[in-house]
Amino acid sequence: MLKKDKLQSFKGVLNTLIERHVLVLATEHPYLTRLCCSFQTNVRLCFAMVYVNGGDLAYHIACSGRFNKSRACFYAAEIVPALMFLHCNGIIHRDLKPSNILLDADGHCKIADFGLCKESILDGKTTNTFCSTPLYLAPEVLLGNEYGASVDWCCLAVIMYEMMVGYTLFVANKDWKLFESILQDAPGFPCFLSSEAVKIIKAFLVKCPAARLGCVASQGQEEAIKVHPFFNEIDWVLLEQRKITPPFKPQITSKRDANNFKKCFTH
């Protein structure tokens, strides 16, 4: 529910229309949260969406400590075609993070929260708006450079690191120190990470977006992600048909169960 008096500016209205458009478009993809209907009252705009009650990845990372490679690979693999679908439709998410990736009752991923999405990013078009959650900012956003879909792949790298290591890639007690670290520091990798995991995270974190995995024209751009050795065990055809059994199934006792979310969000 969105309060109308908070959306009086042109930008506020535009962002809401974009979010609704993406939610409607999401009905065409299995790994995106979708809109059932929308309506309004005198004071609010309301979006009614499918209830995805398996919890978010942030919650499950906190519960598990970290995921093994197979589980992290499965989640990352379901996120990849969802992002590719958005990008093919000229949409960049710009706020991909564990708390915006939900699990459904079967354990499949659903990307959520399209409030920072940007449309019409096609055929070389870019944007330069400074937005996203600080921990998941891409270097080009921090530098104020023009950017496109590259920012989403950088976010995915940070999520993959967090899933397999158990804590965030860049840590600092001040935003400016965090931003400095994102721009200048090379990430450290624990010895228990597989070489394939290290390589794909590094490839997604390349500072220059034109050389980042998923963005290099000579490598087939986003198709290069699917053939990376990290995803060798993934059958992409079966995955996009939701025919791969998830490695983890959330504990759900009823359709209204909210036990997979922090109490602060449900009470």
Structure tokens at 244: 């791969």
Residues 169, 118 contacting (CB under 8 angstroms): no
Question: Which phi and psi angles does 151 have, rounded to 5°?
Answer: -65, -35
Instruction: Tell me how far apart the alpha carbons of residues 170 and 178 are, in angstroms, rounded to a whole number.
Output: 7
pLDDT at residue 265, as a whole number: 78
Task: Find the DSSP H helices in 136-211.
Answer: 139-142, 150-165, 175-184, 195-204
Q: Is residue 95 flagged as an active site residue?
A: yes
Which DSSP category does 123 fall into?
A: T
In the three-class reduction of DSSP (H, G, I as helix; E, B as strand; rest coil), residue 78 is classed as helix
pLDDT at residue 59, as a whole number: 95
The dihedral formed by the CA atoms of 78, 82, 87 and 92, expressed in degrees to the nearest 10:
-100
In the three-class reduction of DSSP (H, G, I as helix; E, B as strand; rest coil), residue 63 is classed as helix
* Residues recorded for the chain: 267
Cross-strand bridge partners of residue 2: 45
pLDDT at residue 262, as a whole number: 82
Task: Indicate the fold that domain 2-49 takes in CATH.
Answer: Phosphorylase Kinase; domain 1 (3.30.200)
Structure tokens at 169: 């890639």
How do the domains of the chain map onto residue ranges? 2-49, 57-240
Instruction: Tell me how far apart the alpha carbons of residues 149 and 90 are, in angstroms, rounded to a whole number.
Output: 9
Q: Which residue has the tokens 């899933």?
A: 163
Tell me the C-alpha to C-alpha distance, in Å, between residue 41 and each of 1, 44, 45, 47, 149: 10, 5, 7, 12, 35
Nearest Cα to 224, choosing from 244, 200, 242? 200
Per-residue model confidence as pLDDT tens for the chain (267 residues):
999 888 877 778 888 999 999 999 999 999 999 999 999 999 999 999 999 999 999 999 999 999 999 999 999 999 999 999 999 999 999 999 999 999 999 999 999 999 999 999 998 899 999 998 999 999 999 999 999 999 999 999 999 999 999 999 988 889 999 999 999 998 899 999 999 999 999 999 999 999 999 999 999 999 999 999 999 999 999 999 999 999 999 999 988 899 998 888 777
In the three-class reduction of DSSP (H, G, I as helix; E, B as strand; rest coil), residue 35 is classed as strand
Q: Which residue has the tokens 């600092």?
A: 172
Structure tokens at 121: 């990013």
Residues 38, 46 contacting (CB under 8 angstroms): yes
Right CATH for 57-240 from 3.40.630.10, 1.10.510.10, 3.30.70.580, 1.10.150.120 = 1.10.510.10
CB atoms < 10 A from the CB of 204, how many?
Answer: 26
In the three-class reduction of DSSP (H, G, I as helix; E, B as strand; rest coil), residue 143 is classed as coil
pLDDT at residue 127, as a whole number: 95
The active-site residue, picked from 5, 56, 95, 175, is 95
Which DSSP category does 128 fall into?
A: -
